[in-house]
Structure 1
Amino acid sequence: MRNPTPTPTSVYLIAVGAFALGMASYATAGLMPMLEQAFSVPMAIAAQLVTVFALAYGIGSPLVVALLPRNRQRLGLLGALGLFVLANVGGALTADFALLMLCRALAGLGAGVYLATGITVCAALSEPERRGSAIAIIMTGMASGTVLGVPLSLLLAEAAGWQAALWLVALLGAGAWLGLQQLLPAVPAGPTVALRSKLALLSDRKVLAILLVSLLAAVASLGMYTFIAPLMSDPAYGSVGNVTPYLWVWGLGGVAGSFLVGPLLERIQGPILTLIIMLVLGGALLLLPVMAGLSPWLALLPIALWGCVGWALQVPQNNELLAARERHGDGDLAVALNESALYLGSALGAAAGGLLLLWAMPGWALAWSAAGVALLGAVLQLYNVRRLTALSSPNALRSR
Structure 2
Amino acid sequence: MLTIGMFTLGFDAYIIAGLIPGISATYQKNASQVGQAVSVFTLFYAVSAPLFASLLAGRQTKKILLSSMFIFGLANVLSALAPSFSIFLLSRAIAGMGAGLFSPLAVASSTTFVPIEKKGRALSFTIGGMSMGTVLGVPIGLYLANMFEWQLTMWFVVIFSFTATLCMFKFLPDIPVTPPPAIKERLSMFTDKRVTITVLITFCASIASLGLYTYLSSLIPDLTSDKDLTIYLWAWGLGGLLGSLSIGYFIDYFKKPKVLMVIILMTLTVSIICIPILINLSILKYLPFFIWGAMGWASQAPQQHILLSYQPQQGSAAVALNSSINYLGSAVGATLGGIVIYSGMGTIALIYFAILFMGFSLCLQFYSMKKFNKSPKQKSRAT
TM-score range, shorter chain: 0.7 to 0.9
1:263 paired to 2:262: no
2:238 maps to a residue whose letter is L
Amino acid at match of 1:42: Q
Q: Deviations over 1:87-140 (max 9, x none)?
A: 334555666766555443222211111001000100222211111111111222
Measured after TM superposition, the shift of residue 171 of structure 1 is 2.3
Q: How far apart are the structure 2 equivalents of 1:239 and 1:95?
A: 34
The answer to whether 1:279 aligns with 2:266 is yes
Determine the C-alpha separation between the residues in 2 that align with 1:161 and 1:229: 17
**1:266 aligned counterpart, secondary structure:** helix
The answer to whether residue 362 in structure 2 is matched with residue 378 in structure 1 is yes
In the alignment, the residues of structure 2 paired with residue 102 and residue 351 of structure 1 have an alpha-carbon distance, to the nearest angstrom, of 17
After TM superposition, the structure 1 stretch with the greater mean CA deviation from structure 2, 63-72 or 204-213, is 63-72
Aligned counterparts of 1:367 and 1:138: Cα–Cα separation in 2: 30
Identity %: 35
Residues 281 and 155 (structure 1), Cα distance of their counterparts in 2 relative to 1, 3 Å cut? closer
Contact 1:54–1:343, Cα closer than 8 Å, also in 2: yes
Structure 1 residues 250 and 194, CA gap change in structure 2 (3 angstroms): same
For residue 149 of structure 1, report the CA deviation from its aligned partner: 0.6
Q: CA, structure 1 residues 231+42, in 2 after alignment: closer, same or farther (shift >3 Å)? A: closer
Residue type at the aligned position of 1:274? M
The residue that corresponds to 2:110 in the other structure is 122
Structure 1 residue 223: Cα displacement: 2.4
| Residue-by-residue CA offset, 1:29-83 (whole Å, 9 max, x unaligned) | 5455655676xx4326766644432332122332122211234222222221122
Correspondence list, 1:179-198, <5 A = 179-195=167-183, 197-198=185-186
1:191 Cα shift? 3.2
Structure with the larger RCO, 1 or 2 (CA within 8 Å, 6+ apart)? 2
- CA distance in 2: counterparts of 1:362 and 1:26, whole angstroms: 19
SS at match of 1:187: coil
Cα separation, partners in 2 of 1:164 and 1:316, compared to 1, 3 Å: same
C-alpha change, 1:315 and 1:196, in structure 2 (3 Å) is: same
**Cα 1:203–1:102 shift into 2, 3 Å:** same
Answering whether residue 372 of structure 2 is matched by residue 388 of structure 1, we say yes
Larger radius of gyration: 1
Tell me, in whole angstroms, the C-alpha distance in 2 between the residues paired with 1:96 and 1:239: 33
Give 5+ residue unaligned stretches, structure 1: 1-12
- CA distance in 1 between counterparts of 2:301 and 2:18 reads 27
1:290 aligns with 2:277: yes
Question: What's the TM-score once normalised by structure 1's chain length?
Answer: 0.82
SS at match of 1:298: helix
2:331 matches 1:343: no
- Give the Cα separation in 2 of the matches to 1:105 and 1:46: 14
Q: Assess, with a 3 A threshold, how the Cα gap between structure 1 residues 196 and 158 changes in structure 2: closer, same or farther.
A: farther
- Moved runs in structure 1, 4+ residues, more than 6 A? 397-400
Alpha-carbon separation, structure 2, partners of 1:52 and 1:120: 25
- Please tell me the root mean square deviation across aligned C-alpha atoms, in Å: 3.2
Q: Distance in 2 between matches of 1:266 and 1:316?
A: 10
CA displacement, residues 146-188 of structure 1 (integer Å, 9 cap, x when unaligned): 2321232343455565553333222222222222223323323
Q: Alignment partner for residue 204 of structure 2, among 197, 212, 216?
A: 216
Distance in 2 between the 1:230 and 1:104 partners?
21
Note if contact 1:321-1:334 (Cα within 8 Å) is conserved in structure 2: yes
Q: Tell me if structure 1 keeps the 8 A contact 2:218–2:347.
A: no
- 1:367 pairs with 2:351: yes
C-alpha separation in 2, matches of 1:263 and 1:110: 30
Equivalent residues of 1:219, 1:345 under 8 A apart = yes
Cα separation, partners in 2 of 1:35 and 1:196, compared to 1, 3 Å: farther
* Residues in 1 aligned to 2:121 and 2:90: alpha-carbon distance in whole angstroms: 35
1: CA distance, partners of 2:227 / 2:150: 25
| Greater mean alpha carbon deviation, residues 135-144 or residues 72-81 | 72-81
> 1:276-301 CA distances to partner (integer Å, 9 max, x unpaired)?
111111222233333347x2642322
Q: What CA distance in whole angstroms lies between the structure 1 residues aligned with 2:376 and 2:293?
A: 35
1:134 to 81, 106, 122: 122
